[in-house]
Amino acid sequence: MKRREHLKRLALLPLAGAVMPAFAGSTESIIELGLKDEPQNIFRSIGVEPIINCRGTFTIIGGSIERPEVRSAMEASSQNFVQYDELADAINQKLAELTGAEWGMVSAGCAAGLKHVTAACVTGGNPEKLIRIPDLTGFEKTEVVVPRHSRNVYDHAIRNIGVKIITVDTIEELEKALNPKTAMIYIMAYSATQPGQPMSTEAIAKIAKPKNIPILVDAAAEVLTIPNVHLQQGATIVAYSGGKAICGPQCAGLLLGQKDILMSAWQASSPHHGPGRDNKVGREEMMGMLAAVETWKKRDHAAEWKTWLSWLDMISKKVTSVEGVTTSVFEPTELSNKSPVLNVMWDPSKLNLTGDELAEIVGRSKPRIAIGSETKDGMTSIQITTGQMQPGNDKIVAERIFEILSKKRSPKSTTMKRPSGVITGRWEVTVEFFNSRSTHSFNLEQDGNWIQGSHKGDFTTRDLVGTFEEDKIILRSVERPVGDNVSFIFSGTLSGGSFSGEIYMGEYRTAKFTATKYKYKGKRERIVVPGGPPLAT
């Protein structure tokens, strides 16, 4: 078997199947283990269980599966050396021809693309400015205007350049915010920016174009439109994730739009030094992204959609054989995350199971399956998204969900166990992160099993809620700066006047904490109330 074929097999989506032998103690390489009988189980050779993706193009589970043409292009391009500026110029010209845009560029992911474009708008392609980032002292362009609805966790990439973000709520505020310091306007591509909306791309372009202010549209999770809908609506640059709908390299992004800005954006990207050196894109990803766009134009998208619907139909027929289970198919028309979704619904009081619980079961046991879930208005549901499902996944998913839904369960007790103490009051909380320690505090009010109050973190104080059963205390607060959020779920055990345990912080993993009752240090003394205004100050 040729090496290229080996790599093609290795890139297949991991499916449930025979368990690979443990890598520990083996004299065989990981590659050799991965190619034995079950090539898709290379992850098991290092003790990691693969996942069937019924969730969508989430980076944390791998984004998308690269198309065979993409893998072939990446393998072929790994065999030779090439001068990167020459390669970029050729690829960017080819991307322009394929998409109808003025120019193209491949970045190390969509977020890196946002960063490079911001640098381009701030520096204008002047390397003397580029190497000073993020210190923008003396720069003419230092501000980026963003509608509040477009603030999101990915605008960190823009802020990394050192710009000041100006957040606006209306089109009138946006117009007033534009000034000689404005480097660009950044917007997320979704319903609020569609034609006819108050802050649509078209409406913003009417204001920005006369002032020669670039508009960057973040369309990371969208399907690629040719000719490009965002450029037609007035955007200057549009950015896509290569590893989502386009099914290109996971570590690549696609930028399309105005040539002079994208030339400056490439200047701000590796292999050049400066603030973008840490966002390196290799020749393999560059050629793989080009292959993905070429393949996108040739793909039979209607046939893919029909196949996805057939998978959902098969799953629906299987799970609705369970009494009380109903399904519906959602076919999105918007460009972002565009693939059919199966909603599987039931009354949780009838099956004694919620969608969240089912999602947790299939996500933590074999075969591992990533699905969405929701509980609302007395009904619960799971969502099965097709876009990254692979042939054969539908049968595995149908059988697994049917198995769980058809299992008989006893009604859950709604009676909460009596708490072992009283935790009303102020608590000092020591938090141990991976390599640092912080001091937080709780102010708690207890009403039987229910807890409410506040959690003071390193920078803000936010509301906190929770429960207390026997000696188990669970508390939750959420830090919500503009465009971001960090959830803190404290799970601890009360013992000897303090409680301690772990903090679950979602994508930021876990930390440890210990809470001890605050000891007031003020001395006891009588307070004299004056009889009137002071006679001296």
pLDDT for res 28: 53
User: Do 176 and 271 belong to one domain?
Assistant: yes
pLDDT for 8 = 36
Structurally, the chain folds into a number of domains equal to 4
Could you tell me where the DSSP H helices lie in 299-377?
Answer: 301-319, 348-351, 355-364
Helices (H), 21-109: 30-35, 68-77, 84-99
In a domain, residue 524? The reply is: no
Q: Does 77 reside within a domain?
A: yes
Q: Are residues 289 and 308 in the same domain?
A: no
DSSP, res 268? T
Q: Which residues of the chain have pLDDT under 70?
A: 1-40
- Which strand ranges, in their side-by-side order, compose the sheet holding 182-188? 103-107, 253-257, 237-241, 215-218, 182-188, 143-147, 164-168
In this prediction, residue 19 carries a pLDDT of 34
Per-residue pLDDT at 478: 97
Q: Tell me, yes or no, whether 318 lies in a domain.
A: yes
CB-CB contact of 442 with 434 (8 Å) = no
Q: By three-state DSSP, how is residue 450 classified?
A: strand
pLDDT at 1: 36
46 and 97 together in one domain = no
CB atoms within 10 A of CB 480: 12
CATH number at residue 465: 2.40.128.120
Residues in the chain: 537
Six token digits for residue 329? 């198919």
State pLDDT tens for residues 49-72: 999 999 999 999 999 999 999 999
- Looking at residue 65, its pLDDT comes to 95
Q: Whole-angstrom Cα distance, residue 151 to residue 169?
A: 11
Do 259 and 286 lie in one domain? The reply is yes
| 360 and 506 within one domain | no
Same domain, residue pair 99 and 224 = yes
Q: Is 285 helix (H, G, I), strand (E, B) or coil?
A: helix
> d(Cα 481, Cα 465) in Å, to the nearest integer?
19
Distance in angstroms (rounded) separating the CA atoms of residues 111 and 240: 9
Q: Could you list the residue range(s) of the whole structural domain that residue 192 is in?
A: 68-298
Establish if 410 belongs to a structural domain: no
Round to whole Å and give the CA distance between 35 and 30.
Answer: 9
Any domain includes 269: yes
What is the spatial distance between Cα 497 and Cα 486, in angstroms, rounded to a whole number?
A: 28
Q: What local confidence, expressed as pLDDT, does residue 20 receive?
A: 34
Say which CATH number the domain at 360 has: 3.90.1150.110
pTM above 0.85, yes or no: yes
d(CA 4, CA 375): 46
| Chain centre to alpha carbon of residue 305 | 24
Same domain (yes/no): 336, 229: no
Instruction: Output phi, psi for 374, to 5 deg.
Output: -160, 145
Predicted pLDDT of residue 521: 84
